[in-house]
Amino acid sequence: MLSRPILALAAAAFGIGTTEFVIMGLLPEVAESFGVSVPRAGLLVSGYAMGVTIGAPLVAIATARLPRKAALLILMGVFLLGNLGCALAPTYGVLMLARIVTAFAHGAFFGIGAVVASGLVPRAQRAQAVALMFTGLTLANVLGVPFGTALGQAAGWRATFWAVLGLGLVAAAAIAAFVPGGLPGSRGGLAGEFRSLRRWSVLLPMLVSTLASVSLFTVFTYIAPLLVTVSGLSPHAVTGALLLFGVGLTLGNLAGGRLADRHLMATVVGSFAALVAILVLFAFTSHAAIPAVLTLPVWGALVFALVSPLQVWVVEAATDAPNLASTLNQGAFNLGNASGAALGGGALTLGMGYASLPWLGAGIAALALGLVLTARRGSAASLAMPAGSTRAG
């Protein structure tokens, strides 16, 4: 299954994931550079996420009829332009604009890439193929974010974006060389595809995807200052902690894909239940360095065990509009990113401490779990009803 096209997609995902997440490890440096507060610098996470959310449907429409390889290469061009703007940004406002430009490539790339990856393997291996592509995103947290954070601390945060620009050039070359060129775009009408997306069975997994990201980014946006001020880590030790978190992301992503190909909804339910538990635990372990660091990889594994199952759930629910649904679900994830970062920043601004953020994340994950359980009960009840029967009022 680990073919060259999927590796090329994973390489691009690595670059995109690095530029998305590395800003979190550099919030103190960026805030000092532009003379803004850390919560205001945290809005760079929200700005990127909102760029994905707004850009996903627009770019999906613009690229719908393009051959998939051409669309992916155009999106990589937008990604490169945005990172160049980040590296050169003279003001906070310009940096925000460059982040938004970069984000416009994100949702459509992962949406189209997921459809391409799943189409290269047998149906019973679709979640694993999507998980392998997203391995690039998780490895961005294992390698890209920690080393990008270290590079930014040593040579200035702009150096990190120059490095990401180089990664993007390599990934674009890999896509040009290895992704098949005969994959057509949408052949149906966009109006029909949008109508199919109005069904609750399609909107529900998108809502759950949003809540999963809200839970993560309420806490993870501010993980660097949390680990320093609450757990007692040094700024350089945060790099090692982020590395362990990234290892957890990678292992959880691969495990989630494998489990989802066997039992999709059971994987979603089990992962959310465990996610609630680990965030409650983190509310306690975050007060000491070693327990906090040991909790991070478990949290990361549970978070990314959900990514490919949720993506496949959306695609399977929208069988008549998989490309658009896949792209819009990336917008849903990133709407959650923006909302989570804003929720965490708002809590801090109102006087809550960094140590309170895991409780907020656990509450949002519990809400998502409740929605999934409700959906499962509704599906089971429908399946149990004899054909032609109706419910009693």
Q: Report the length, in residues, of the chain.
A: 393
381: alpha, beta or left, given left = phi > 0 and alpha = psi -120 to 50? alpha
Please list, residue by residue across 33-62, b when 16 or more beta carbons sit within 10 angstroms of its beta carbon and e when fewer do.
beebebbbbbbbbbbbbbbbbbbbbebbbe
pLDDT attached to residue 187: 57
- CA 89/CA 296 separation, integer angstroms: 32
pLDDT attached to residue 160: 92
Identify the DSSP state of 385. S
Per run of 10 residues, the mean pLDDT along the chain (length 393 residues) is: 82 90 83 83 82 80 79 92 92 92 87 82 81 86 82 89 92 89 61 68 89 93 91 87 87 91 90 96 95 95 92 80 76 82 90 93 95 73 40 35
- CA 288/CA 292 separation, integer angstroms: 6
Q: What is the pTM of this model?
A: 0.77
Sign of CA dihedral 136, 343, 52, 114: positive
Distances in whole angstroms, Cα of residue 267 to Cα of each of 82, 260, 285, 328: 36, 6, 26, 22
Sign of CA dihedral 88, 94, 95, 97: negative
pLDDT attached to residue 1: 54
pLDDT attached to residue 314: 86
pLDDT attached to residue 372: 92
Residue 259, SS3 per DSSP:
helix
- CA 187/CA 205 separation, integer angstroms: 25
Hey, what domains does the chain have and what are their CATH numbers?
4-179+189-384 (1.20.1250.20)
